[in-house]
Structures are given as C-alpha cells and as structure tokens.
Structure 1
Amino acid sequence: MNASAAGHRRGFRRSAPRVAGKRILITGAARGIGAALARQLHHHGARVALLGIEETLLAQVAADCGDAPWRYCDIGDPAQVQRVVNSLTAELGGLDAVVCNAGIARQLSLLSGDPTVLEETLTVNVLGVYYTLRAAGPHLAHRDGYVLLISSLAAAIHLPLAGAYSASKAAVEALGDTLRIELRHTGARVGMAYFAELDTEMTSRGFGTEAARSILGRSTVSGIAPLGPAIDACERALARRSRRIVSPYWVSMVLWCRPLAQLLVDYSLRGGVAGGLEIARTEPTGFTTEQPARPRRMRKLA
C-alpha cells in the first residue's frame, strides 16, 4: 500500500467512530453485504438489529455483533415486516437508520422464462423495500434519520437474462428518489447505493450461469470487485447520511453517461444472445436465497 492509500485508510478509520451509538436496522443481514456491514458497524460502536429468513446464519451474525437483536422475517409479508420492525426498534430504543439490503436474483428470459421469477423478484426486491420503508418510516422521520437503499448498477445498465433483477433495482431507485422528497420536511435523508459485481453469493449464484457466460463471452461483465470497499462506503454513508455511494469508483462514471453505456452494451452483446437464451431454457437455476412459500399476488400467465 502506498503512502497516499495508507493515509486515506487511516483517515477513514479515524472517522469510523462517527457511527458509534447509532441504532441501525439491516434487512437481509444473514450473508453478503448485510452480514459484513452488520459486523463492521458493530465493531465501530453502532447498535445493530438484524432481520432475514436464514435463521442459523442470522444467529451467527447476531452473535458476532454482541448478541444483537434479530428476527426471522419474510420481507414479502407486510404484516410480518411491520411487526418485526416495530419489535426490533423497541429493543434498540429507537431508530436512526435503516439499510434496505434484502434482495434476491435469478436469471430470466423475458419471453420464454417462468413468470414467477419476475413476480418473486419484485415481491422481495421492491415490495419488501416498500414494506420496510412503510414500517420504519415513522421511526426515522426525524432530523437525524437516514434510509440507505441498496440498489445496483443494474438499475441503470440492463443486460439480457437480468431483466427481472434490473427492473427491481430500477424500481428501488425510483422509490428512493420519491422518498427523499417526501421525507425532506422531517429532516431525514435518503441515500442510494449503486454497486457493480461484488464478491458475494448474489453475484456468483445469481449471475454466474452458463447462459450468461455464453452471452458475455466471459464469467462477468466487469470483473468481481472486492466487498470491503463497498462496506466501507456504506459505513461512511451512514455516518454522513450521504445521498449516493458507489463501488467500485468507476460506477459513478457509468451512471453519469448511462444512455451511452447502455448503447455500448446493446452493441457489444448483439452476437451471443440467441445461444444464451437457448441455454437458459433448460439450465437449472434457483434464487440466490431460497424463498418461503407465499401466496401469489400477481396474475399468472397462461
């Protein structure tokens, strides 16, 4: 590490205690971004509460966070979300921030794929965020309140077979932009996180498929980025109540010129899509996190 980088890291570590004492609720905290963020925030003095559906993993993360309060919660069940958020907020003695991180992914061919993939993705990634915001909002509508929504570069750049995930993250972006305006009079702020392909199971299980490799001509679009810088960015956002964060750094440039970036994607992938779609017809895939049975809220297609 050069002197400049070392100085940057030392400077960040000096500012890290700014999250100390903050009461932060994290959804989807059993693994990936949620688990890593919970552990880092706890290490720097924040008080965290965790929710998710993988109870064994959640309990392990909670134990690593000083026996932090945690609950099983199906993010797609509005009544359950309301009950769990209220319960965890009461245990924390109030709420300063919520990190809407819970999400799933699965490849989908829009014309020939299973429509329940889109339904389930929207249930968790969009409705789950809305239910969380609705439940946590009254506790956060104060001058120190903060909402951090985990969106994705996929909200801006749309790839074949990732339409369900991209649609869900674009919807999260829209919810965040709207909520920012609606909360402004309370003093609370809203931040949006745009991440590329990070070193998590979401990337490897959700997008590392044979069909995707056939279309891309390689395993990933941009290469797997380390998780650490994204977690650092989330912590800084929670300390500063930032409007937008990205990881890796170049994501900000792609967001700035997103129409051009989409044109480049359209042009560069024009040759391999047919073969990839054919592979996707029979390739066995599942959601990145197995979902509980829940009633279908959308009309199934014939």
Structure 2
Amino acid sequence: MALPGLRSAGSPLLGRTAVITGAARGLGAAMARELDRRGARVALLGLEAPLLAEVARSLHNDAAWWEVDVTDDTAMAEAARSVDARLGPASVVVANAGVAEGGPFALSDPDTWRRVIEVNLIGSAVTARSCLPALLHTRGYHLQIASLAAMGTSPLMSAYCASKAGVESFAHALRAELAHEGVGVGIAYINWTDTDMIHDADRHAVLRELRAHMPAPARKVYPAEQVAARLVGAIERRSASVYMPAWLRAVQPVRAALPPIVTRIARTELPRLAPSTRFETTGMLGAGGRADEDLRHAR
C-alpha cells in the first residue's frame, strides 16, 4: 500500500522526508542512496560527521545530516525537530543503527555487552519516540531493522542476538499500538550483508569458522545495495515484514526448532575448534562499532 496522500505515478516516496539512523556507512548509507533515488528527501543520522556529510553530498534531492547518538533522548528529540524544520515532517523512519561484539559471554566486558543492547534496542526505541510526532502527523511508516538473529540465536553473539530479539518484539508492540492511528510498522529480517561489521567478524577465527559451518544459503553475504533495494521496496509497500534473502520467510513457521539445532551443532563444533582457535572477546566489530566505542570512552 502506498504512503497516504501521494500521487500514484512514480514512487510513493517522491517528495517525502525519510529519516535513517546509522546512515554514515554500510546498509544505512546504501538505503539513504536508494531512498534518494526514489525521490525522498533524506535525513541522515549517525556518529561519523565526515562520512555523513559525504553521503549527503552524494544524494540528488534535498538532504541533511545530524551527528547524534541514538541512545541520547534529548539529542534525538532535538534532531527530530530539526529534521521537521529543515526537510519537513518524516513520512518514513528507518531504525537501522546497530553495533555488535562477539566472544564468550563469560569473558565479555560488561560495558561493551550493555552498549550493544543500548544502541540496538534502546536506540531503536529512542528513534521511534523522537520521530513519532512526525509519523502521527503524516500517517507514516517506521521500519525496524532486525535480523535472522531475532528468529534464531548464535553462540558467542549473545548481546547482538538479545538486542535483535528485543527490537522484533518492540516493533510488534508498536505496530499494534499505532495501527488505529494509521502509522505502519515493519520489521526487516536480514541475513549477512556486506558491511565492515561482517568483514571485521571474519577476521576472528571462531566467528569465521562458525559462519562457515552454516548451510550454504545461510552463510551467503549479500551486497548492501541489493539489501537496500529490497528494504526500500518494502517501505514503498508499507510491508509488515520484509525478508532478505526471501527464503528467510520460510524460517518463521519453524523458528522454535532453531535453538535446539544451534545448541546441538555448538555442542560439537565449539569443542572441536577449542584446541586450535582462541575463544576471546572481539570488542566492537567494524569501523562503525569502533566509532561508537570512541564516543563512549570520550564521555
């Protein structure tokens, strides 16, 4: 279904304001370019000002950027007001900002583990809260970026899996709460996307080996531009859910079976890897994760 009030010719995003968090790099930047290609005015939110400015310069329609921490309620509320004043009230909001860290839970740094939850889950809620007045005004659409990790789980990625399960549940609750207001809420279930986070994860032998033992379709890495195109298409349709790759949809009916399967594989594979692979914590993964870590240490 097209966004309300738009002409049917061309993309329903034409002339609309779209807010995207985590827009400095990776999937966020790719989605910003795809939203721009379909005629939206894009508001880019993130931590890395030089990269945000670079993405904004690459866009063809009106665009602007704000350097902001998605977990900061006051700063996000101010950014949302600035978006409204400069680009107009948001019709689309994409809660994309996310970080990850890996390694055994028992060895994890409590502050780093907690920060993954804060950025991925609390940051998504802060994004929704800050932009909700605009979405209520435009009867718009909020897309929550989740993951296959929301349906299943993985050893050595406890914070990330917990956060993505949390954002899925949050989005379901928000959808039910806002349905009568005409605001749509969608959930994007994505698998491996070609970003610096994934590249960094592959530098750590234990995470690389665990991914290598997944079934071939489940370990395939997809270009960020391909994922972005599918997600923006779902935004145009105001989809309740979108899956990338499409076969992930088939996991939904059997998702209850995934944790026992993962446990059975881990019970065999982790002891096999232990003699040759160091089980250590990774810290924040990827350049985006390190930017968040720098912010946290600067406070």
- TM class by shorter chain equals 0.7 to 0.9
Question: Hey, what does 1:266 align to over in structure 2?
Answer: 263
Shift of 1:207: 5.6
Residues 165 and 280 (structure 1 numbering): CA distance in 2 closer, same or farther, change over 3 Å? farther
1:78 to 73, 79, 84: 73
Question: Hey, what does 1:144 align to over in structure 2?
Answer: 139
In structure 1, C-alpha distance between the alignment counterparts of 2:249 and 2:184, rounded to whole Å:
20
Question: Hey, what does 1:225 align to over in structure 2?
Answer: 222
In structure 1, C-alpha distance between the alignment counterparts of 2:156 and 2:135, rounded to whole Å:
36
TM-score by length of 2: 0.86
In structure 1, C-alpha distance between the alignment counterparts of 2:171 and 2:281, rounded to whole Å:
34
Given the alignment of the two structures, is residue 26 of structure 1 paired with residue 20 of structure 2, yes or no? yes
Question: Hey, what does 1:185 align to over in structure 2?
Answer: 180
Tell me the percent identity: 34
Asked whether the 8 Å contact 1:105–1:165 carries over to 2, the reply is: yes
SS in 1 for 2:97: coil
Shift of 1:65: 1.3
SS in 1 for 2:142: strand
110-119 vs 130-139, greater mean Cα deviation? 110-119
In structure 2, C-alpha distance between the alignment counterparts of 1:18 and 1:172, rounded to whole Å:
26
In structure 2, C-alpha distance between the alignment counterparts of 1:248 and 1:217, rounded to whole Å:
18
123-132 vs 104-113, greater mean Cα deviation? 104-113
In structure 2, C-alpha distance between the alignment counterparts of 1:169 and 1:190, rounded to whole Å:
16
Given the alignment of the two structures, is residue 154 of structure 1 paired with residue 149 of structure 2, yes or no? yes
SS in 1 for 2:188: strand
Shift of 1:103: 0.4
Given the alignment of the two structures, is residue 35 of structure 1 paired with residue 32 of structure 2, yes or no? no
Asked whether the 8 Å contact 1:214–1:272 carries over to 2, the reply is: no
Shift of 1:272: 2.2
In structure 1, C-alpha distance between the alignment counterparts of 2:271 and 2:152, rounded to whole Å:
20
Asked whether the 8 Å contact 1:214–1:275 carries over to 2, the reply is: no
| Cα RMSD (Å) | 2.4
User: What whole-Å deviation, never above 9, does each CA across 1:223-244 have from its counterpart, x for those lacking one?
Assistant: 2123333212211122111100
Letter in 1 for 2:52: L
Question: Hey, what does 1:130 align to over in structure 2?
Answer: 125
1:98 to 83, 93, 101: 93
Question: Hey, what does 2:232 align to over in structure 1?
Answer: 235
* Consecutive unaligned residues in structure 1, runs of 5 or more: 1-13, 296-302
In structure 1, C-alpha distance between the alignment counterparts of 2:89 and 2:238, rounded to whole Å:
17
Letter in 1 for 2:260: L
TM-score by length of 1: 0.86
Given the alignment of the two structures, is residue 45 of structure 1 paired with residue 39 of structure 2, yes or no? yes
Shift of 1:117: 2.2
Shift of 1:268: 2.4
In structure 2, C-alpha distance between the alignment counterparts of 1:213 and 1:133, rounded to whole Å:
34
268-277 vs 129-138, greater mean Cα deviation? 268-277
Asked whether the 8 Å contact 2:102–2:281 carries over to 1, the reply is: no
The alignment of Structure 1 onto Structure 2 pairs a total of residues equal to 283
Asked whether the 8 Å contact 1:216–1:269 carries over to 2, the reply is: no
Shift of 1:281: 4.5
Given the alignment of the two structures, is residue 17 of structure 1 paired with residue 11 of structure 2, yes or no? yes
Question: Hey, what does 1:118 align to over in structure 2?
Answer: 113
Asked whether the 8 Å contact 2:101–2:282 carries over to 1, the reply is: no
SS in 1 for 2:12: helix
* Consecutive unaligned residues in structure 2, runs of 5 or more: 1-7
Letter in 1 for 2:220: G
105-114 vs 184-193, greater mean Cα deviation? 105-114
